[in-house]
Structure 1
Amino acid sequence: MKNPSAPKVRSFFRFPLTWMVAGTIGILLVDTLFRLLAGDVKGITSLLLTLTASIGGILVYWLTMKYLAHRSLSELPRRSAGAEAGKGLLTGALFILVSTGMIVILGGYSFQWAPTADPNRILLSTIESALGAAIVEELIFRGLMFQAIRQWLGNWPALAVTSLFFGVAHLGNPGATLWSALAITIEAGVLLGAAFLWRRNLWFAMGLHFAWNALEGMLGIPVSGHAATGLFTVTVSGAPFLTGGDFGLEGSIIPVMVSLLIAIPMLIAASRNRATD
């Protein structure tokens, strides 16, 4: 005898907001658990725990999409993972280097090699921090949230809502202001959303996000308000509107403008791709 409530249960879990919330909770639980485990270890062991947590987050995402959302994972293809992540890395590196270079030219930043810097330790800690943030945040914002809202309301509402939530999520960071939240909304939310729409690939968005955070950290620039011990000592001078102040590069008007110069062509290309589908 069939259970009459079974179709209702399936419909409930297949509703976009339901699997979005369930998947987000699962990913955050995995991330929190491994952060606790990594709290007392350093170096390679800590990095390995972060890698394991990232794989666990991807597994939770896969299970959510397969068994709750009942949809394919075309956004996480195995064959092109390396190539797409590599393209994202190059895009993210270009974005940060151009933005930082423009601020240097305008007199906002100057860099000196930190004589006491331990390159190996800095490299490991920077990779660990950037990798965890890139994978977890992209799985949640561009993976679950973006696609749930897109399925429900369409591409443009998904881009607007995820960008706004991404900015608001950074309001609690050290040195955050309403301006920095708006800047993050545009330069990160819109750029990463545009990257995902264009490539239709989370590996690309993860690579872009990782390169962004990792380069900032290695340069010694605060990453969204969080102080970074990098390979260089950064001297900041000028108005916070140029330098980003205590919040770091993301609080500057320069990366906002540079991000739009990258995101707009991506959105145009995404619209053309959609028109030819």
Structure 2
Amino acid sequence: MANDPAFPPLPTATLPEAAPRRPGPGWAETILIIAAYFALQFGVGGALGYLSQTLARLFPDAVPGQGDRLVIVVILTLASAAAITLWLVVQRWGALLRSGGPEGFGFTPPTGGQMLFGAVMGIIAPLVGGLLTQLLAGDHTVSQSVSDLADSAHVGMRVALLPVAVLVGPLVEEVLFRGALLALLRTRFGDGWAIAVSSVFFGVIHLPDLGGLWYAVPNLILVGAFCAWLRVQSRSIWPAFACHAANNALATMVWFT
């Protein structure tokens, strides 16, 4: 017909909308989940310790010695606290776990070179940090409660404690400190301040395990700085985990010497 258009109207192209940026961890939830991890250790450890003492009183000839019982309590405590904490992290921030950006946790595949470099840094950190600790400590001795605990246990129990000290502990602490806390600080203050603040917090929060020996904290701050830098540079949490695990593995060597 005369009034009909010569050509049918062209379909309107619809551009895909940009995916909304997922918000990173917030202040309250990050502090609460870190506090929950250490509170779980205190609560579960206290309950298992009381159970261990009760069994020793009731069955003195049937239970292991005190040193071995304490190792069992530590293994069960750390494993339980880690499992519950990681479950909470997955429930709250599951969508951010595979993000390598500032707001994410960095569960992305690393390269072999990044893992090797992280492990090497995990060996260098305690060597350099140990010299700094000796300089600050002077004639004072420095030990951690887990090392004192291992010294009182049989070799078999020390071997059983290794996976917890070298793998489980570093994994959950990396998720908390180089995952939630670092993401919180990076999205608000930038990488430099995030690395510095998270490293200091990581060192200071281990003071109870060090018996309040402040001169051992700089060593842990250095380890935390190495791990945070690796997380930022690699966009993956795994090189930081390799650094942390190698550091702990080097520390456990004294259990067998």
What is the TM-score with the length of structure 2 in the denominator? 0.57
Secondary structure of the residue aligned to 2:213 is coil
How far is 1:31 from its partner?
4.1
Read off the aligned partner of 1:176 and give its amino acid letter: L
Structure 1 unaligned spans of 5+ = 1-12, 102-115, 220-229, 233-277
How far is 1:162 from its partner?
0.9
Read off the aligned partner of 2:213 and give its amino acid letter: A
Q: How does 1:152-191 map to 2 (within 5 A)?
A: 152-172=188-208, 173-174=210-211, 176-177=213-214, 179-185=215-221, 187-191=222-226
Task: Tell me: CA distance 1:78–1:49, structure 2 relative to 1, closer, same or farther (3 Å).
Answer: farther
**Is 1:77 aligned to residue 107 of structure 2?**
yes
Question: Percent sequence identity over matched residues?
Answer: 21
Q: How does 1:22-37 map to 2 (within 5 A)?
A: 22-36=32-46
1:83 and 1:49 mapped to 2: Cα distance?
A: 34
Q: Quick check: 210-219 or 24-33, which moved more? A: 24-33
Q: How does 1:7-156 map to 2 (within 5 A)?
A: 16-36=26-46, 39=49, 40=52, 47=75, 50-66=78-94, 71-74=96-99, 75-77=105-107, 88-89=118-119, 91-93=121-123, 95-96=125-126, 118-156=154-192
1:231 and 1:64 mapped to 2: Cα distance?
A: 40
Structure 2 unaligned spans of 5+ = 1-22, 53-68, 100-104, 132-151
Q: Which has the higher contact order (CA 8 A, sep 6+)?
A: 2
Task: Tell me: CA distance 1:153–1:47, structure 2 relative to 1, closer, same or farther (3 Å).
Answer: same
Task: Tell me: CA distance 1:90–1:60, structure 2 relative to 1, closer, same or farther (3 Å).
Answer: farther
Task: Tell me: CA distance 1:159–1:25, structure 2 relative to 1, closer, same or farther (3 Å).
Answer: same
Secondary structure of the residue aligned to 1:77 is coil
How far is 1:84 from its partner?
7.3
> For residue 215 of structure 1, what is the aligned residue in structure 2?
250
Equivalent residues of 1:126, 1:218 under 8 A apart? no
Task: Tell me: CA distance 1:80–1:30, structure 2 relative to 1, closer, same or farther (3 Å).
Answer: farther
1:229-257 C-alpha deviation (Å, 9 max, x unpaired): x111xxxxxxxxxxxxxxxxxxxxxxxxx
What is the TM-score with the length of structure 1 in the denominator? 0.53
